[in-house]
Amino acid sequence: MGAGDYGKNSAPKAAVDDAGQASLVWSESGGTRAATRSPGGTWTAAATLAPQSSSSVDTAIDGAGNAIAVFGSSYSWHLAGGSWGPATPLPAGSSGGLVVADPAGTFVYADSSGNAFTFAAGATSFGAGSGSRGSLDDLKIVPGQAVMLAAGAMSAESVT
């Protein structure tokens, strides 16, 4: 993948795990795309996750190489050793937002209104969520905690 291989519908987002595996997602006029990189540094061909572009994309990868891409009001999994799955709707009312993962395989998605969901790799549903905390600014994960900055206030939630 070379410089300039993407349009400017959204800034590309990348995630890297401790082994050097990576996930990259971006949006361009021809759709939303993603690629992964092996620990040896080889990128896969770009996969089309959706035929439309999205102004909001994000990705996360865990220590096993499981990756998720979040784009618009959809998400897609790339489970270790597989390929990108179909676009699946995010929880009702969710769009945009950020996603993070820890090395042990805990993923946290927070939508643009600061409603956070915790789940494991390959999950097909996200559960009830934490409730809206206001406009999402940032999301990080540390061992056992998801830390969110929303509406100018920081909150932390236990994750398992």
Q: What is the pLDDT of residues 98-115, one digit of tens each?
A: 999 999 999 999 999 999
**13-22, 49-58, 149-158: the lowest-pLDDT one:** 149-158
At residue 30, the pLDDT reads 84
Nearest to 122 by CA among 86, 79, 81, 73: 79
| Residue 1 predicted with pLDDT over 60 | no
Longest dimension (CA), the chain: 40
Q: If you average pLDDT over residues 52-64, what whole number do you get?
A: 93
Percentage of residues in the chain with pLDDT exceeding 90?
Answer: 57
Stated pTM of the model: 0.89
Query: Mean pLDDT of all residues in the chain?
Result: 88
| Residue 2 predicted with pLDDT over 70 | no
Percentage of residues in the chain with pLDDT exceeding 70?
Answer: 93
Nearest to 112 by CA among 56, 74, 68, 61: 56
The 8-class DSSP code of residue 43 comes to B
Q: If you average pLDDT over residues 135-149, what whole number do you get?
A: 87
| Residue 3 predicted with pLDDT over 80 | no
Quick one: which H or E segment has residue 32? strand 31-37
| Residue 52 predicted with pLDDT over 60 | yes
8 A C-beta contact, residue 99 and residue 70: yes
8 A C-beta contact, residue 49 and residue 25: yes
Q: How many angstroms from the chain centroid is the CA of residue 147?
A: 16
Alpha-carbon span 56 to 48, nearest angstrom: 15
8 A C-beta contact, residue 98 and residue 86: no
